Structure 1
Amino acid sequence: MAHAYTPGLKVTRATIVKKERRLPLPGNVLVKKGDRVKAEDIVARTELPGNVQPINVAGLLSIPPEDVPAVMLKKEGEHVKKGEPIAQSKSFFGLFKSNVTAPVDGYIENISNVTGQVILREPPIPVEINAYIDGEVVDIIENEGVIVQTKASFVQGIFGIGGERIGVIHALAKDPDEEVTEDKITEDLKGKIIIGGSFVTAEALRKAARVGACGIVVG
């Protein structure tokens, strides 16, 4: 069959590979320059702001927006649990009460006497980045990440689907023209990066996912 090759792609048996591992927001770098790391090691950590939940307290309690601060049971900055009352109004000489409860865990970020809305911020979302490759931390990006260096074989692909994966390489194909078919995917490929030949079938991809293979490289 015909072979496709994109000029400019790098293929080398041995080279120095440097990988920059950077957080999306400033955070904490957990390693030092000169440290040896494994691919799975967490090298930096941060937290993304949680999702915002607007609550129309004025509308729910049928009160004017300017009255909202007076009926709040929680102040700005206070943490709340899902289902916990955050506002309460009284009617008919205090005999009947109406409550507004928190739809999710979080904290009160803002109480507006203009819109009558209360902004509830959900808990922060933790974000961690790993080293991605075994190697040495050769530089620290302050509050953001690291640069990891290693000696490796390097094959540059055209495109990838599914995000970053780490696993033990397993050469499945014996010939560059060989296709990876469903019958060649076995249970012992769990945790492996499968190196195939020219093509992988859809059935083989689905079975590889079922057995827990980490990835497939073909072409």
Structure 2
Amino acid sequence: MRANQAVARAELPGKVYPLNLANQLGVAPDEINEYLIKKTGDPVQKDEILAENKPLIKWFKTKVLSPVTGVVESVSTITGQVLLREPPRVLELLGYVDGLIVEVIPQQGVVVETECSLVQGIFGIGGETWGEIVIAVTAPDEILLPRHFTGAMKGKVVVGGSFISSDGLARAKDVGVAGLVIGGIHDKDLRALLGYDLGVAITGTEQVGFTLILTEGFGTIPMADKTFTLLSAHVGQLASISGATQIRAGVIRPEVIIPKRITAAHSPATVLQREGIRIGDQVRIIRDPLFGKIGEVASLPSDLQKIPTESEVRVMEVCFADGSRVMIPRTNIELIEGC
């Protein structure tokens, strides 16, 4: 199954248009059936004759034309009204990712399984989309500037470095990129892009012209080396991305999914799950005052330690690139997996 393939389809009823036929023809409501050209259930085209009277003098003839294309849903001899309904609107659910359908959920959709590379962001806006990966910068700490965008990036998922300004976001929209993956932005630039202040609720329904994913957070924050390396290794491949984010119960993270090509003869391999964090693992701090900083696990003390809130929690020692070390509660970090 391909990302742009429909996996489910529903028909939403079309709009209903009431038409007071009795008034327009100048007849009693219980007489309108005598003048109808179209009966209940008949299809009708816009400007096609619905009904007409039969005067003795043809100059006084009145024709009532259909204002829409659709069907005659009902005729009331009590009110003298005819209800016309537009054709149903077809709603399709697309597969979102390339993969194999392993389960069909009746009246809902399907479960798609795929062997892939996965990047989860900190925050995002915009819905599900897909496109080929393009790297617009040369390093994860490079700022993504308006001049980096070219016409060839239309419909692509563009990967930047540490930051993009409001001018860069405007340029991305003008070019028509499908998605943008970046280390960070300023909150004022996000507000300018949306046109309003974003609340705490779930994101993902915004209509800004593309899907935006922040891998690190707000501000100028270099993209994690592993994240940048992973995305760079898949240049030219199709990626499915979603900016949906929810930070309350039932956490949802924005994501970049890069599927491998799967055939029926080659089902996804079973992936062994990691068993916790190990010394030497790369982690990101996800709480102030060190939010967004990346370092390596230096030690994992087994005893509980008291933190400034006077709670006793499990901690880890994290070593940063400048050689500094700090004790961090284990709940305040996330593991950076990948190549």
Provide TM-score, normalisation by structure 2.
0.49
- Alignment size in residue pairs: 181
**Distance in 2 between residues matched to 1:135 and 1:186, nearest whole Å:** 31
* Residue among 103, 110, 120 paired with 1:155: 120
Q: Counterpart of 2:8? A: 44
Corresponding position: 1:170 with 2:138: no
CA displacement, residues 140-191 of structure 1 (integer Å, 9 cap, x when unaligned): 0124321112233131442313x32111122324455543221111122123
Query: Hey, what's the Cα distance between the residues in 2 that align with 1:123 and 1:62?
Result: 29
1:69·1:112 contact (CA, 8 Å) conserved in 2?
Answer: no
Q: Does 1:186 align with 2:150?
A: yes
Equivalent residue, structure 1, for 2:36: 72
Cα separation, 2, equivalents of 1:157 and 1:57: 58
| AA of the residue aligned to 2:6 | I
**Residues 1-43 of structure 1 deviation map (CA, whole Å, 9 limit, x = unaligned):** xxxxxxxxxxxxxxxxxxxxxxxxxxxxxxxxxxxx1212222
Runs of at least 4 residues off by over 3 Å: 173-179
1:15-26 paired onto structure 2 within 5 Å: none
- 1: distance between equivalents of 2:23 and 2:142? 66
Q: Over the residues paired in the alignment, what is the CA RMSD in angstroms? A: 2.1
Q: Deviations over 1:196-219 (max 9, x none)?
A: 234433333333233332111232
Q: Does 1:86 align with 2:80?
A: no
Q: 1:106 aligns with which of 38, 51, 70?
A: 70
- Structure (1/2) with the larger strand percentage: 1
Structure 1 distance, partners of 2:144, 2:80, is: 61
Q: 1:157 and 1:61, CA in 2 relative to 1: closer, same or farther beyond 3 A?
A: farther
Classify the secondary structure of the residue corresponding to 1:67.
Answer: helix
The residue type equivalent to 1:44 in the other structure is: A
TM-score by length of 1: 0.73
Tell me if structure 1 keeps the 8 A contact 2:42–2:71: yes
How far 1:83 moved relative to its partner? 0.9
* % same residue: 39
Structure 2: where are the runs of 5+ without partners?
Answer: 185-339
Q: Could you say which structure has the greater relative contact order, defined with CA pairs below 8 angstroms and 6 or more residues apart? A: 1
1:53 and 2:17 matched: yes
Structure (1 or 2) with the larger CA radius of gyration: 2
